[in-house]
Copies of this chain bind each other. A is one copy, B any other.
Amino acid sequence: MSLKLNLDKLDLQIIQAMMEDAEISYADLGKKLFVSGGTIHVRIKKLEEQNIVKGRKLAVDLKALGYDVIAFIGIYLEKSSLYDAVAKELRSIPEIVRLNYTTGNYSMFAEIVTKDIQQLRFVLHDKLQNIKGIERTETFISLEESFSRNVVVDQ
């Protein structure tokens, strides 16, 4: 893991600007930050080498593709030592798009994306509940995503 912050103000400004607009050209970003496009290029290359910037991701409208259901699942484990084994099983379920090991009520927290409620039911009943080590789950279906955005990186 890369240790923190030998990043200067310009690095942080570049990251913040590209989090807001990942498609801006180096020349334009250079103008905005009062350096040359070449400098932007060198800085980004360095940030990528250090794995601080990990490339670009396609942003898609899942609803438009028919993926209408987002659900959050709180998972109770029988023993918390089962975490790794259960995580491995959950990873093999493609509908589970994110998994976190958490403090608090639940041992783990999963996010599931499916086309409809039937598919969600199937994942919960026929896949999740059969995994050894999972005691029970609680499901929160998202009726509406109010917003989803990036952190603001302060400089």
A residues contacting B by CB (< 8 A) are 1-2, 4-5, 7, 12, 15, 18-19, 22-23, 50-67, 70, 72, 74, 87, 90-91, 94-95, 97-106, 108-109, 113, 138-153
The distance in angstroms between the C-alpha atoms of A99 and B148, with both chains bound, is: 7
| B22 pairs with A67, CB closer than 8 A | no
Residue of B at shortest CB range from A15?
A: B60
User: How close is A127's CB to chain B, nearest CB, in angstroms?
Assistant: 15
Contacts of A22 on B, CB cut-off 8 Å?
55-58
| B67 pairs with A15, CB closer than 8 A | no
| A138 pairs with B105, CB closer than 8 A | yes
Q: A143-B101, A145-B100 are in contact. Are A109 and B72 (CB under 8 A)?
A: yes
Contacts of A146 on B, CB cut-off 8 Å?
87, 90-91, 99-101, 108
Contacts of A67 on B, CB cut-off 8 Å?
151
Q: A61-B2, A98-B147 are in contact. Are A138 and B55 (CB under 8 A)?
A: no
Residue of B at shortest CB range from A94?
A: B152
| B56 pairs with A59, CB closer than 8 A | yes
Residue of B at shortest CB range from A98?
A: B148
